[in-house]
Amino acid sequence: MKKKKYLAWIFTEKSLNKTFTIHFFLINKLCENFEKIYFINMNKFKLFKDWYSYEGEFSYELDNKFKVPRNIEIICPRNIKDFEDFIFDKEIIAINNIGRFFSDLKIHFLLAKYRIKQVQIHNIGFFNTNLKLENSFWNNLKYKLHKNFSHKLIVLLSNLKLVPKIQIKFTSSTEIIEIIKNSFIKKILYNLKLFYAKELVPINSSSFDIFKNIKMEINEEKIVLLDVNFIHPELIAISGNPDKKKITKHYYYLNKLINNLSAMYKKEIVICIHPSDNLENKKKYFPNLNVVQYESRENIYKAFLVLFFDTSAIVDAILLKKRILCLISNFAPENITNFGLDFVNRAGLLKINIEEEIKINKDKFLSKLDNAKDNYSNYIKSYITPDGNNLGYEKIIRILKERFF
């Protein structure tokens, strides 16, 4: 029996809100170019609960801002028989959006058993960063085993042909490509297909694609804060549970700073929170301010000034050459500060500690923020538009059709 080929997106999230927040534009373009796309939730095949697992049932509900294309079908197999029944008459080409943790091993073995070809799409426009373990010895060891060693194990298993490799990794970061080019050993390993991804293909980021295709209004109406997510499960695994007293002090100084900036420049404040954060809880920390979720990009396009701690959402502001200020908090885990400082160093952004009083002349401060925009070009070239003026989604679709359909 000749099986019909389908494109699928495999994931383990509790809902598709986060996936659509990050990839809505690409998903819509894929739906325009493929007859049907299956979104397959593989969470039931996790071996045990980790920080990316969830309890209860998958939520089919999406935030009202998302419009789901009609040719998407969500599949949530509850066991191997469900999965076998689904895949019986299909050949699946999967966009891999799952982890390489010990808890995911069963998923990788299933993908190998049914010979599912996979690609990855890393087009967010940011870099890999090294995390510093801040927890207890045993929790640190547990984290290293579950993340670092499990990654190495899956790469080893892929070279032993026990789990599948990624056929193509589309990436908007030139960093890993340059590392391979400049290393004799890594170049040999790459040519021998011994990396987890057999082939790296540079593409422009989703931020660039959206900027070129969706004519969103760009203005300077507001000051936008991209707030930190203290309850992110992986952050808790690395740094431990947040200290309530520190959180209280953090938001005391943060509110003081952003309200001073609002008064100084006569601009309203909008707080944008992470897709996995708790909206109702976060509103309590910002009395009388507008707190929104799944709306970071729209607000960045309308920003007079963008404030952030550690989020990749800042990529849109860099591409648009908005005024950007990195916030440093002595009350936040060290990894949050380090991630923000990585952006400062790579893109030449200005930074300020939230406890500092802004006593300088507001025009001089604005001039410094404007002058910093001249530093963005290298970051844009390296992480946002490494493929010239080519549209990333067009390259992805063309290569998928040429290689697999």
CB atoms within 10 A of CB 380: 19
Cα 375 off chain centre by: 23
Q: What percent of the chain has pLDDT over 70?
A: 96
Confidence at residue 62, expressed as pLDDT on a 0 to 100 scale: 84
| Higher per-residue pLDDT: 48 or 366 | 366
The segment with the largest mean pLDDT, out of 63-77, 80-94, 132-146, is 80-94
CA distance to 170, 279, 304, 321, per residue, from 270 (Å): 33, 13, 11, 19
CA–CA gap between residue 266 and residue 251 (Å, rounded):
21
- Residue with structure tokens 């960093």? 175
Per residue in 214-272, pLDDT tens? 888 999 999 999 999 988 877 777 777 888 999 999 999 999 999 999 999 999 999 99
Cα 202 off chain centre by: 17
Confidence at residue 66, expressed as pLDDT on a 0 to 100 scale: 85
Q: Model pTM?
A: 0.92
Confidence at residue 131, expressed as pLDDT on a 0 to 100 scale: 67
